[in-house]
Amino acid sequence: MQTLQLALFLVMLELTVGSFVSLVFLDMRRDTSRGFVIFQGWLYLIFAVLTLLAMNAFATPQLVQGYGLDDRWVRAQGPVVLLFALLMIPWNVLLWADRPPEGAKKGKPARGPASGLARLRFAVGALGALVGIAALVVDGMAYRTLASSHLNGAFVVASFLAGGLALGGVMTAMLLGHWYLNTPTASGKPLEFATTLMLATLTLELLFTLFVGVSTARPTLTTHVLIPGTTIGTSGGRVTVITPTPVPTTTTANGHAQAITAANVRQAPLTTGAMWWLEFVLGFAAPLALGAIALYLTRGRSFQSATGMLYLCVSFIFIGEILGRGLLVAPIFS
């Protein structure tokens, strides 16, 4: 199993849950065009299918067994994520069936009291959002053992929740900004809401990440083969292992052996510390600054410029989440 593959599943789950939760909020506000909600609903259902595939390929209980995770919560992961994905189907069906009244303007938000189908959709959407949040909590509880030095890993669970809402919120905001290109006279309140949600939750995730603490992951078992010449001696109840130090060599182009020195040993270009700094600079500082600019532009109805800022925010937050989840799970593969 590779670190990046497991981190990708965790980020896909955060993206899907956070996107759907933010979309349900926008739907309940009833100030977003129906066409946008329908398009996003089916798009996020595709995200859910991809998340299920990633879970079955990289994060089943059998694949992560023995890596120091909380096995009880890992076993609960599959049913909860599956239920979340299944609840998105009736929500989308109810959304499609709730046709606007005759004479309603295309691309405009709903007016008047909500219909019976709309109220049922709100209930199913709220239930689906709660199950999605529960899925993030379950995964956070399963992986909290990797950094449980503070409050028994509570900050790990909180960072999963905040990260999911931040990533999903900025994805919804960015796509909503593109939708304004088709409806430039629409209200800017939905975009303000989604952008504010991203800024608030990303700030919380930054605080939680600062308090996560050092890794407490148990390294995987490694074995070493004794090379020829090793002697094992026992004396007075003590065991002494003596191994001669060989000089590593490599073969040159003409077939001669050449000793490997410290000067020609390849070193990793980036250390864990460098990746940690990249996470904070790219995953937190940059999108917080760009998101604040996007919120300012949205309030001035400069939707095209705000969308450009949000597009960059999506890229930076996605990179930051991959780095954060990768650094969390990396010690179990060392």
What CATH number is given to the structural domain containing 148? 1.20.1630
Task: State residue 233 phi and psi, 5-degree precision.
Answer: -120, 145
> Is residue 257 domain-resident?
no
> Is residue 240 domain-resident?
no
> Is residue 229 domain-resident?
no
Query: What tokens appear for 28 in the block?
Result: 């309940």
> Is residue 270 domain-resident?
no
Q: For each of the chain's 334 residues, which pLDDT tens digit applies?
A: 578 899 999 999 999 999 999 999 999 998 898 899 999 999 999 999 999 999 999 999 998 888 889 999 999 999 999 999 999 999 999 999 988 765 455 556 666 677 889 999 999 999 999 999 999 999 999 999 988 877 888 999 999 999 999 999 999 999 999 888 777 778 889 999 999 999 999 999 999 999 887 667 655 444 445 556 566 555 544 555 566 665 555 555 555 555 545 444 455 556 677 888 999 999 999 999 999 999 999 999 999 999 999 999 999 999 999 999 999 988 776 6
> Is residue 320 domain-resident?
yes
Instruction: Count up the domains in the chain and report the number.
Output: 1
> Is residue 237 domain-resident?
no
> Is residue 135 domain-resident?
yes
> Is residue 89 domain-resident?
yes
Amino acid 87: pLDDT: 97
H helices of 188-329, where?
A: 189-210, 272-280, 286-299, 303-329
Identify the domain containing residue 159 by its residue range: 3-217+276-333
Read off the pTM: 0.82
Between CA 173 and CA 170 the distance in angstroms is 5
CB neighbour burial string for 268-277, b if at least 16 within 10 angstroms, e if fewer: eeeeeeeeee
Amino acid 241: pLDDT: 59
